[in-house]
Structure 1
């Protein structure tokens, strides 16, 4: 199950209490105070781990609390600090304060950490309160409470290429052809209801492309229609977009392209300016008599939008090598962060 959002409360560990104690030693009947301080509470930390790609392991957790510090002891022994609670998250996790909406962190790199709730301070023992006029203080402090915060976590997939288009445009079939990803493929719209990532090997080199199969977009997606918001946010971090259009469909090709471009523009103007490639799919389903006309229509649409176009068939493999080469060229020309 692909879970890309979660809401939870994080609480830092409470500090340990200070100790009231006095030195007890043979031949020292009135030993001074020697109560130690309490240990500090543990922090709640989010850490990016490569082995995670969804927020499923967090989705059902409501409260996360770090360990409290141990109490101080006699002989000026300070209590042990509480253990930090380290919560793993996938790369691309955005952390927000649920109450204010403030972005607390954008976690993208493996090993990156964010402290979201600090532990409380340990209380001082009575040895800390000794003065020239009060040599036997009988008071100590309680440990301080840890920070408490309600968080919203949102996952935005990190990929080199995002496959976008109307439902049933051939996105899942393509990613299953060029990578080891195996999303559900069927001949009806909305077969794909969650994003999928695939890794494409580039020739014999170690270079790869990470491709995201984004579920189909429909009119009104920028307003949340058809789970549009949930799908569009995964496009934000793709360095290059591949806009797939079905060449075998009867609807006007230019209108289908313009509809998706309008949804991207309405959701985020920056997305509409993202480098993109127009990809005509299902070339194998186009009859010989219609082939030339459909390819000319695809070329005309690409010229109108000032982009390049590639026609492919994920079934026969026609045009696949050209597509991968063009995408690799476009990705290499883009900065790592967009």
Structure 2
């Protein structure tokens, strides 16, 4: 068997053996492939959504796009607030943009979590503390989203017709199912020794990290301020699209509908909530008093702006960050 001569500095390979593609190069191309697959699967939704954009009032669409861009800034603030170490600002912001694309290509939360976990470890934060920071971020985001929803529901009790969202007699079974899942998780934790030890160690690390972060006012402000700004900006984007398409629902009621829909689909493991978020948003906007046809148009246009337009550049950014070893 003869040898194949490679460029200077590289070892020779036996003739006939395939050259292996570097893993990092494969990872750079993978996001683009996933974007293509997702786009092909949802091509009818894309076509209809772009059709609605052509009939909308452009100033409001620009406002929705601006609110979407600001969500990445809010996410960057929150991520920085979750760790004591100072993270490089430009790379942190680029990572949030790329994490948004990853979040729409993988089951909800996993893509962004993996990207940010890798980014923090590359920046020198130990894996245990990076995981604790990720958990703190998720906790802050969940608390502020639920708190904002409750405040708005108290301020505008008639914003949603809850009977359209929750069928009669469904509350009891839902609560029982939630209690059953919680009990099963608790029993599993108590019975499996290794799992109990691992969870206990993680909780101790997370509590230490939370105390360290809240001992610094700037970090605490970034954590909670960014967590609050993130859903506010998302809801503002939906309200702007609703104004662009003349949805006859007050903007604050649209914000309530958005928060209620996103909370409802938080446990649905679909990539970026694609499919489930659209359905929940349409139902919530109808429950807020919007016509079905206009509500559907608003949701499709909103998801085009917030998901589909940033998806390709976000995937390209993700591939570049992998290639440059930022993540």
So what's the TM-score if we normalise by structure 2? Answer: 0.23
Question: Quick check: which has more Rg, 1 or 2?
Answer: 1
TM-score (norm 1): 0.23
User: Which structure shows the bigger proportion of residues in strand conformation?
Assistant: 1
Name the structure with the higher helix share: 2
